[in-house]
Structure 1
């Protein structure tokens, strides 16, 4: 049916040429997650042409697989950066309903930063999508990132002097939290094909003006690509080369981490501190030293992104030497090195962000480092121990819970000896180990 119009939202079961390939790609990406009881997927849909194509493809895929395959909830993140955003989310809700999907809008609330809006919005978007997945019991979050996005990501990485890890671009599959995976099934699909699918379905896409705002580097690159200032074929070959190199490095790192842990040379404590034998670290190949540092700093800091490559290269050179490192600070982590290298959370001048706990709260992630199970009682506050003006450099970064009246209710188990028997132990699991090895192949 090339060249013919696709049926509108009222007829999702029928395939059409611009969309059936997208539906097959989506099914293939989801297959590993569909068990005997199926799987639940969160579709991230803003209303732009890319995400609308994803929603149309999901409708076709769901019809082909059947009810036992997967269930879909469409989620729109309202960043509240433009006055039109609420109406745009409502339009997505109507489209989703026409395709038979439930819909939910989640909002980025609170004060917005004065600068770095795109990065902050991206971090908020993934945080909100992950929360929606956990609340829904979804195993996957699916986005409509496409080949043009991948090319732009590569060029931005090249502009900042990134190595093979950055130049390899986005992953088709990335762990968001333990149990929730981000899928990007369209990374090898040009944006034009997604637009074709939306046009064939007779849907009107939302155009975000920030996508063409030349104040942002990605928007400038997008214009350059549209005007043919970059050779797409050459860039795609470069991306493939760097992806192969990333896979090789990550296989090597996975094997090294497994061997070091087996020999007792690498550990992650219940306090979230990463410790590695310094001689064992120095014996690693230079590329693996860099890759390990990248992950260790980000994981121990609970950060969304790793530090820049040049800072990591300088730190690697210091740690591979013999001189003691008393307290280097990088990316929200403090690194100390004698015979053992320790990566711990930096408390910082303003401390760590507190979390308000509503009545009945059951589970929360503190500082990206700890999964905490709560009793679901009265409201309170989850804070870092240092906010009370107490603790050494490690203890200050550990979580405690205050009741509404300000009294200490529960604390990280490592603080109990200091606090006495009246304080309950928080039920928690450190997340740093998982972050250290996320997306690595099995050792």
Structure 2
């Protein structure tokens, strides 16, 4: 156990900024893994003068959850760290509860981190979690393995927020031994022993199998000419796409479409095969429209897809419209799809609209009475396309805490 602290400190030194006014966030459940991480993160933050913020999610699934949250608040108080309790409100699904709880937890934590100004959230996943994920995939699940570093999977709540898992080289048993040596106690969630859940069954069946260490990282230098264009989509050089991992194509589709549900494997394989050829093609996948000629591949929002719901922003508000654009305003306004409103554009805006492919025009953001902020500058309103930055984050283009 004597090497546990240096291993964790090395990861924190490598991934976090030594000096930054932003807080470091830790997700604390009160279990042994997250408690070890919280204690070590507190030591690191204290040594470097960084603020520490602790988030605890109450899933509202067990009678004990309120007491667990109070226990986490007491830990934060003992460490002198800021604390925020987050609750998963509303009806819970009858099936797929673990996945739904995980998604809710990521959304709540990512949203809280953004509000607090934290760019990195530390999470206490271990080598045991990686083994369990591998065992679940062997049993037919699609559970991904946790990575040391990567963007928050919550979208758009997690835009610009990264997750760091410094404990992935150590097992759950090692961490509990470390806590025991120091006289610490932790919470044991009975759900971890419930055989109804696939992770519990995978945990029981582990026999020392190897953990996979495959992570998705791509040399982004080949995409130096990538550009944001075509109403928030992306244009990438076709030659650079001929031998990329299929995971990259999936990520490009999701980022251009503003969606989160990965495409089916067979459809992704067909797209990869087509892009390896020289044929021109137009296809749809995972909510995206892919247009390829001999030089470029354009990833756009599929104009035939539903989901262009209005977005209402308060005075001096910011939000994400259609998963693709971050819109900031100094006054209350409602953003909706341009489809059906083109007649309300000014002549310069109509001229700019005609320069775009017909298939993307209707999915532009539009403000009643003011026009489209993508086609003309609107005072007090700014629009930031998110697709390319999101893709870079997903592919390892950001390797440590942003400044």
Instruction: Tell me by how many angstroms 1:62 deviates.
Output: 3.9
Using the size of structure 1 for normalisation, the TM-score is 0.73
| Two-structure CA RMSD over aligned residues (Å) | 3.5
Given that 2:60 and 2:88 are in contact with CA atoms closer than 8 Å, whether structure 1 keeps it comes out as yes
Specify the alignment match of 2:74 in structure 1.
Answer: 94
More relative contact order in 1 or in 2 (CA 8 Å, sep 6+)? Answer: 2
Instruction: Tell me by how many angstroms 1:104 deviates.
Output: 0.2
CA distance in 2 between counterparts of 1:434 and 1:440 reads 11
Is 1:428–2:383 an aligned residue pair?
yes
**How big is each residue's C-alpha offset from its partner over 1:338-370, in whole Å with a ceiling of 9 and x where there is no partner?**
45433222356642455453x444332334322
Is 1:174–2:150 an aligned residue pair?
yes
| SS of the residue 1:293 aligns to | helix
Indicate the larger mover: 100-109 or 172-181.
172-181
Alignment of 1:25-104 (within 5 A): 25-32=7-14, 33-37=16-20, 40-63=23-46, 65=47, 68-104=48-84
| SS of the residue 1:397 aligns to | coil
After superposition, the Cα gap between the structure-2 partners of 1:48 and 1:308, relative to the gap in structure 1 and judged at 3 Å, is farther
| SS of the residue 1:70 aligns to | coil
Is 1:191–2:167 an aligned residue pair?
no
Indicate the larger mover: 383-392 or 130-139.
383-392
Given that 1:23 and 1:58 are in contact with CA atoms closer than 8 Å, whether structure 2 keeps it comes out as no
CA distance in 1 between counterparts of 2:305 and 2:259 reads 17
Alignment of 1:357-372 (within 5 A): 357=313, 359-372=314-327
Using the size of structure 2 for normalisation, the TM-score is 0.79
After superposition, the Cα gap between the structure-2 partners of 1:80 and 1:331, relative to the gap in structure 1 and judged at 3 Å, is farther
Alignment of 1:226-241 (within 5 A): 228=207, 231-232=208-209, 235-236=210-211, 239-240=212-213
Given that 1:34 and 1:69 are in contact with CA atoms closer than 8 Å, whether structure 2 keeps it comes out as no
Candidates 231, 236, 239, aligned match of 1:271: 231
Given that 1:410 and 1:424 are in contact with CA atoms closer than 8 Å, whether structure 2 keeps it comes out as no
CA distance in 2 between counterparts of 1:26 and 1:268 reads 38
**How big is each residue's C-alpha offset from its partner over 1:184-223, in whole Å with a ceiling of 9 and x where there is no partner?**
0000010112223444455543333433333332222112
Instruction: Tell me by how many angstroms 1:138 deviates.
Output: 1.8
User: Unaligned stretches of 5+ in structure 2?
Assistant: 153-157, 344-352
Instruction: Tell me by how many angstroms 1:140 deviates.
Output: 1.6
CA distance in 2 between counterparts of 1:321 and 1:332 reads 23
**How big is each residue's C-alpha offset from its partner over 1:361-406, in whole Å with a ceiling of 9 and x where there is no partner?**
433233432222221x34x5444445979996423433345xxxxx
Candidates 87, 110, 124, aligned match of 1:130: 110
